[in-house]
Structure 1
Amino acid sequence: MASFVTEVLASSGKLEKDDLASKISKLSRKVDETKEELSDMINKKYNEFIPSMDAAEELMDQVEAVSKDIDLLKSFIENEVQQNLHEAVTEYAKLKQQLEKNTAVISMLQHLQEFDTAMEEYHKTLQEKKYEAAAKQLGKARGSVEALKAWKDSELPLLKALSSEITVQRENLIYHLGEEWKKLAVWKLPPAKGEKLNGMESFLTTALHLNSGESKEDKHTPNHLLSSVLQALVIQGELHKKIKLFGQVLLKYMLKPLIMYPSLLVEVGEQLEQGTVLSLHSEENQVEHPAPAEVYTKILIVLKTLHEHLFGTSIDDKKVSAILGDQIWEEMSDCIIRECLLYSIPTNSSQLAAYDTVIKETEDFENHLKDMGYLSGDSTDLLKYARNVNCHFASKKCQDVIVAARKLMTSEMHNTVKISPDYKLAIPKLPNLGGGSREKQEVKRSGHCDQQILENEKQLGQRTLCLPVCRISESVQQLMELAIKTLSEAVGSSPQCGFQLFYTTRNIFHLFYDVVPTYHKDNLLKFPHLAAIQHNNCMFLAHHLLTLGHQFRPHLPLKDGVAYFVDLVPGFRRLGAQCFVAQMNVQKAEMLERLSTARNFSNLDDEDNYSAASKAVRQVIHQLKRLGKVWQDVLPVNIYCKSMGTLLNTAISELITKIMMLEDISTEDGERLHTLCQTILEEGPLVFTPLPEENKNKKYQEEVPVYVKKWLTFKELSIVLHASLQEIVDRWAEGKGPLAQEFSSSEMKSLIRALFQNTDRRAIALTKIK
């Protein structure tokens, strides 16, 4: 038996291990003995001084023998023991690998078992309509498959089948959830007759049936089916998609129509087997845009009903209504602003105080939405818009003002009103600043005819700074009233609003400067009447722009140094002058064209030539009379007289030039030229009748030489054409007579040579013309 054990131990290496231990033990004892003997020898040698050479040599032999035994043992350890140790480690590693593989197989089998169990529970809970539990079991099954896929060395052909089954069952669950969702909210939408819905009538068939799935007996118990469906949709990641689609339909077919159409109302009713029904109907309403309070009420009815029956459930500490609110709030609030709040902004500053009601209604509306969970956060664009009413009022007011101004500028110009020296701008009563005398004097100047008190207490004339009597377009008078009304709105407004309204008023005049000359360009050149009115319009505006800023300056929140409106004055004066000068040039060209048909006023003894010359003169007179009719009572008297005088001067200057160019004037020609000149001299002054009702015609007719520079020259020429040589010499009076004041000696000599034949008398007369 002992030999068998020995063999077994020898085969396993244990015997060598025991022999080695015993050898090491014996060797250790020999070493100890040698150490003691060596110590004893050294002690005797050095302490007792006993000669012991032989004993020392014996000890050296023992040491060498022990060293050899150590080397043999070391060699044995290196060759035998380490080799056996390596074999043992290799064998252990193989056992460990086999154990891990077995463990992995067991783990995979456990996952397969979990998958099977989860799928069985899934099918069971799905049949029982426990959708939340079914979704969780499907999640567990998916987790088991994912765990199997994560094992790298596994190549189970079953994995594809398992993954496919998971996909199929997920789609199956989503389908069932979709069917349940459809039962919870059933839409009845308008028939699709096209892509766009036109008018309110299109939405009258819209209805939403809300059926939360609760039975009549369990009305007061929690609705587990609704919660289960919503939870399952969350787990499957489908809830946001469902609510997004629902929110889009809700906005398009219910919320937006309720916001846009004042006549459209929402009604909540109960129907058998259909639950709660939200339907739309209309009632007669003449309001073009709905009031904010009405819109808020209609929207709250819809959202409260949805909250009670569908979106009041909380999931993961978050209400489902918050998801719907995130989807619809931005678009809904933008629609409320665009279709409702925009039109509720006051058009008059006196109504701004009453707008606090709308701000309060907006706050209450948002608070209701926050209570139901549709809205989160403190500040929204809707409430910001309502609170920023001053800015919106100014923007809306400015827009309305510019639109109204442009409409006036593009209206007919020929409807005029008469401006008298007593005319004053209707400046509304401005607030009393209670300042010094300078401010009081500035506010006091409410019209351009007010008296101005000078430092030396001398008064200017009553008509100082007054516009002359003239006519302006009614639209321009209304434009000026619009500008004053806009500035009055700026008085007492917030600084930002005041700035906007002030610069809008300036923009009115900039717009006039650009629009009117362009829009009425053709008519201003074609019709002298309109050109005169435009001249007056520009001068009227320039006149009032001088003092308009001065009247409102103490009441506007502007810094010192602002030019207000004075800088616009030169431009308007230039614009009016350019318009009228362009019309004057047209009339001059027309007049010269008519005189060009007179055949240079030569050979008037020919009837045809005389007829042509006479016709040209008559046409000029007729043109002047026609202009007199359209310009009188329109232009100021001085402008009218200057204009008519300039045109008449153009005609007689052309006539003088033509006559002076004649080299030979027969007696008959002279008579006929004299007749033509007399026609102009007699009828020309008659065009100076700007105010026929005041019997002041003669005054202006007597002042014709003031307005017609060549009038006296033309008068002297007419006399010469009918005078004798002696009469001419007498009127020359050695260069001191009236004739010498209008003609040079060379011109007079040339005219005498043309009128008279070459005789001694003519030669004597020429010598007297010096």
Structure 2
Amino acid sequence: MEEYDVDIVIKNIFDSKDPNLWKPSDKIPLLTKEVEMLKNDLRTFLKNSDYDTESILEECGELCKETNGLIDGMETCKQEIEQETMAEILKSIESHDTLSKELESVNFALNIVYDVVQCGKYVKEFDDGREAQSFTRAVEAVYDLLQYIEMPAEGFKQLDMYNNTRHTAQLILDSLLSDLYTEWDRLISTSVKPGPKKTIITITLNIEDSLIVIDVLNALEKSKKLTEKVKDFSQFLLKDVLVPIINNDSVVFAETDELMTITVNNKSENKPSYIAVISNLRLLFHYLSNKLNIEYNKENSIMKMIGKQICVEFSDILVKDCLLDTIPNNINELQSYGKITSEIEDFQHFLAIVKFFPDDKISILKYVNNIDILFASKSSQYFLETARSIMLKDLSVTMSIGVENIPEVNPGTSSSSVGETEEEALKILDKTIPKSLFYFPRCMISKTAQELLDLVYVMMEQAVQCSDVVCKKLYNTTRLVFELYDAVVPYHHENYLQTIPQYVALFHNNCMYLAHNLQTFGDKWLILMEGRELDYPISFVDLVQKIRDLGYRHLAVHMQQQRKQILDNIRSSDLNCIVVKDVLSDNAEAAVRQCLRQLHLLKNVWIGVFPINVFTRLMATLVNMFVDELIHRVCTVEDISMEMATQLTDMYTLVVQKAPLLFQNHSDVELYVKSWVKLQELIFVLGGSLKDIENHWSDGTGPLAIHFNIEELRSLIKALFQNTQFRANLLAKIK
């Protein structure tokens, strides 16, 4: 039979473009017809089928009857089970509950008994360990007991035995630890005996490769106390033994195989050399290695444990407090520094052999990687310390420097090897720049100034031989030297600079000399650095004026002190009160003589120290101030008696006689003291007549008109002469 598609059949029956054109009554006959056709097809199919349908139906009926019979039998069994078997099951369940409760009770008692037995077992193991004199077995038994009773069976905690056992176990453990600590102190003992001059440290190690020692170490490890004890001993070694050996002069001596003595000198002025430190450390670590390198558990030893505790800190201290001091402060020693690094490397290898250093994990030569930076810092520190020590020296130890006369021709400008253009440029430069720029005048300076300059030249020569890092550091250090000079010298020599004229003169000359050299110091540095690329400028010109101002400032302060002293001498005498006196007392002349003596002392101190031109200007300044004050005292007086005029003439004449002697060339007083002629004219007025004054006035063209203003001269005439017609006529002319 062909495949029957219901969907196609229905579609064919009901297919219509307009659903409103048909009614259900129209389609029912078609559907009925289709159903009949299907029935006929089914009958035909069944007749033509190979199966006996009737036999199959009969067999199905018989199976249904048998099934119904089985269902009835099952219903009967169900009823029997519900009535008889279930009653027996309920009885069994009740018996099971009773047995379960009995079993739980038995298990509860059994667990408690088991815990009691186990506690007894651990106590027995402890007793066996103690009888065998094995700390390890005893410690293990006690720790197992304490650990076991931390998680007891239910009900065991309620027994008195639990608390007693726990308390007893703790007491046993404390006793064991006490015995172990005693054994540890017997194996490793130390002492420190400090004294005023030296400290004596002893280390006694009674450790040997024996079962007893290994048993004690294992027991301490089992009780988790070995690390604590090793840590305490390690800190003792570091702080009380290793650090003093590194920083102080020490003697390490092995008295016996078990006893080591370290004697530390507390008052040693200098730190020990690295050779002495390494030698002492080798002796110490060799002694420790012989005793502490016993492997007691899994290739572990006390020496390794000590290394893990302090090796890093020890390395840092050794490098910082000892090995960094081996870095030289000059280039020649730096070039041979490989010998020192080789010795340090051997010592590092030794520490690895004695198992204090883990292999290839700790290095005390790391600092060599930054040797340039460390060398730069070390040499800079050395040069600064050296410079400061020079600055603290006495300034009065002197030397002579400079030239008496500046040559007429600058030797640097006459060269036949230059071209015409260069020669012309040099001629213009020679005319523009004063020759005095290249020469320093003859004077006295402190030897310390020359020492400081020599030190700076050494720094420059060393810098140009080093790497750029070192060179830059030394250049900055050189600048710091001169800034340090500004800070240290005036402060350290303050008292002398305030009271001793020679110190002021020498300090002034020192500053000028240093500034003079700083003008060309940068150029000299650059010439030596030719061919190297620099990322920073090299110049000292900015420091020139700073150093000069330092000298100027202290000289100016001292000049003010001298000026004040001269003025105080005059103003404390009768010269300060001419108005109210007819005759001057002796203190007026004494004051003038005191001022002259003061200036004469300055001459004796300064001449030959200052350059002659500086000395002349300074002396002229003080003399001119002295003369101005003398003139001012007279020119401001309204009335001067004849006796006082005579006294003033004598005193001022003394000044005219003595003042030229204050200069190296006596004629310099007329050239550099502005008020010198005015003083001479004042003496003339004090001792002259009105006629003489009129002649010196000479209708406003004479010397009096040149050196006195009209008001001063008129005031002098009124003070010295009585009011006469001749005086009135003369005053009328002076207008």
Q: TM-score, normalised by structure 1?
A: 0.73
- Match for residue 633 of structure 1? 608
**What letter is aligned with 1:641?**
T
Give the Cα–Cα distance (whole angstroms) in 2 for the partners of residues 654 and 236 of structure 1: 99
Give the Cα–Cα distance (whole angstroms) in 2 for the partners of residues 85 and 497 of structure 1: 103
Give the Cα–Cα distance (whole angstroms) in 1 for the partners of residues 221 and 147 of structure 2: 17
Q: Report 1:280-679 matches (<5 A).
A: 289-330=271-312, 332-333=314-315, 336-337=318-319, 340-376=322-358, 378=360, 380=362, 382-385=364-367, 388-421=370-403, 451=412, 456-458=425-427, 460=430, 463-553=436-526, 559-560=534-535, 562=537, 564-596=539-571, 597-600=573-576, 602=578, 609=584, 611-679=586-654
Give the Cα–Cα distance (whole angstroms) in 2 for the partners of residues 130 and 104 of structure 1: 36
Distance 1:747 1:100, change over 3 A: same
Asked if 1:234 corresponds to 2:230, the answer is no
Check conservation: 2:292, 2:301, Cα contact below 8 A. Answer: no
Check conservation: 2:218, 2:296, Cα contact below 8 A. Answer: no
Asked if 1:160 corresponds to 2:125, the answer is no
Structure 2 stretches lacking a partner, 5+ long: 1-67, 415-421
What is the CA-CA distance between 1:361 and the residue it aligns to?
2.4
1:350-389 per-residue CA deviation (whole Å, 9 max, x = no partner) reads 1113222222222222223223332226454733345544
What is the CA-CA distance between 1:530 and the residue it aligns to?
1.8
The alignment partner of 1:612 has SS state of: helix
What is the CA-CA distance between 1:93 and the residue it aligns to?
6.2
- Match for residue 693 of structure 1? none
What is the CA-CA distance between 1:158 and the residue it aligns to?
1.2
Q: Find 1:210's aligned residue among 206, 211, 217.
A: 206
Give the Cα–Cα distance (whole angstroms) in 1 for the partners of residues 84 and 597 of structure 2: 148
1:163-190 per-residue CA deviation (whole Å, 9 max, x = no partner) reads 1222222233334433443443455x46
Asked if 1:267 corresponds to 2:242, the answer is no
- Match for residue 133 of structure 2? 129
Give the Cα–Cα distance (whole angstroms) in 2 for the partners of residues 287 and 657 of structure 1: 65
Give the Cα–Cα distance (whole angstroms) in 1 for the partners of residues 698 and 557 of structure 2: 43
Percentage identity across paired residues of the two chains: 29
Distance 1:197 1:376, change over 3 A: farther
The alignment partner of 1:635 has SS state of: coil
Distance 1:758 1:249, change over 3 A: closer
- Match for residue 57 of structure 1? none
The alignment partner of 2:482 has SS state of: helix
The alignment partner of 1:403 has SS state of: helix
The alignment partner of 2:380 has SS state of: helix
Distance 1:450 1:391, change over 3 A: farther
Distance 1:673 1:104, change over 3 A: same
The alignment partner of 2:458 has SS state of: helix
**What letter is aligned with 1:161?**
N
Asked if 1:764 corresponds to 2:729, the answer is yes
Q: Find 1:731's aligned residue among 682, 696, 703.
A: 696
Give the Cα–Cα distance (whole angstroms) in 2 for the partners of residues 280 and 588 of structure 1: 68
**What letter is aligned with 1:132?**
T
1:380-407 per-residue CA deviation (whole Å, 9 max, x = no partner) reads 4733345544444433333333333333
What is the CA-CA distance between 1:488 and the residue it aligns to?
3.2
Check conservation: 1:531, 1:580, Cα contact below 8 A. Answer: yes
Check conservation: 1:594, 1:619, Cα contact below 8 A. Answer: yes
Give the Cα–Cα distance (whole angstroms) in 1 for the partners of residues 490 and 273 of structure 2: 42
1:529-587 per-residue CA deviation (whole Å, 9 max, x = no partner) reads 22222222222222222222332245578955546432222222222112111111111
The alignment partner of 1:513 has SS state of: helix
Q: Find 2:684's aligned residue among 711, 716, 719.
A: 719
Check conservation: 1:548, 1:565, Cα contact below 8 A. Answer: yes
What is the CA-CA distance between 1:632 and the residue it aligns to?
0.8
Give the Cα–Cα distance (whole angstroms) in 2 for the partners of residues 532 and 710 of structure 1: 26
Give the Cα–Cα distance (whole angstroms) in 2 for the partners of residues 496 and 379 of structure 1: 29
What is the CA-CA distance between 1:136 and the residue it aligns to?
3.0
What is the CA-CA distance between 1:157 and the residue it aligns to?
2.1
Give the Cα–Cα distance (whole angstroms) in 2 for the partners of residues 400 and 725 of structure 1: 76
Give the Cα–Cα distance (whole angstroms) in 2 for the partners of residues 89 and 555 of structure 1: 113
The alignment partner of 2:400 has SS state of: strand
The alignment partner of 2:438 has SS state of: coil
Q: Structure 1 residues 663-672 or 575-584, which shifts more?
A: 663-672
1:639-666 per-residue CA deviation (whole Å, 9 max, x = no partner) reads 2111111111111111212221233344
- Match for residue 429 of structure 1? none
Distance 1:339 1:469, change over 3 A: same
Distance 1:260 1:602, change over 3 A: closer
Give the Cα–Cα distance (whole angstroms) in 2 for the partners of residues 341 and 724 of structure 1: 91
Structure 1 stretches lacking a partner, 5+ long: 1-62, 215-222, 271-275, 424-448, 690-696
Give the Cα–Cα distance (whole angstroms) in 1 for the partners of residues 263 and 644 of structure 2: 95
Give the Cα–Cα distance (whole angstroms) in 1 for the partners of residues 232 and 605 of structure 2: 71
What is the CA-CA distance between 1:422 and the residue it aligns to?
8.8
* C-alpha RMSD of the superposition: 3.9
Q: Structure 1 residues 120-129 or 88-97, which shifts more?
A: 88-97
Give the Cα–Cα distance (whole angstroms) in 1 for the partners of residues 223 and 356 of structure 2: 23
- Match for residue 146 of structure 2? 142
**What letter is aligned with 2:679?**
F
The alignment partner of 2:395 has SS state of: coil
Check conservation: 2:575, 2:633, Cα contact below 8 A. Answer: no
Check conservation: 2:696, 2:702, Cα contact below 8 A. Answer: yes
